[in-house]
Amino acid sequence: MVTEWLLGVLGTLVRGLLSVLPDFDPPAWFSDSGGLFASIFGVADSMGVWLPVELGFTVAVAVLGCLVVGFGIKLVRIVASFATAGGGSAG
């Protein structure tokens, strides 16, 4: 009962504070995300001369692959350790 009253007072205060703030329209770049992404990728595409993006993707995929393989090896070790009653290999 008291909690509902406190939440009602808090809600009224928040509504009152928000009603004081002015209303404005967002800028065009904020509401037109397709145009923003198109311009960003257009600029990024011209940077391919100086920045080897394909090499970056290759390195990122290689690192991710190593992490997945390492996790798989760790998972196999944990399962094998429990299967042989060795106590686990999670450490």
pTM of the model: 0.44
> For residue 87, what pLDDT band results from cuts at 50, 70 and 90?
low
- Give yes or no for residue 53 having a pLDDT over 90: no
SS3 assignment for the chain: CHHHHHHHHHHHHHHHHHHHCCCCCCCHHHHCHHHHHHHHHHHHHHHHHCCCHHHHHHHHHHHHHHHHHHHHHHHHHHHHHHHCCCCCCCC
Mean pLDDT in residue range 8-24: 89
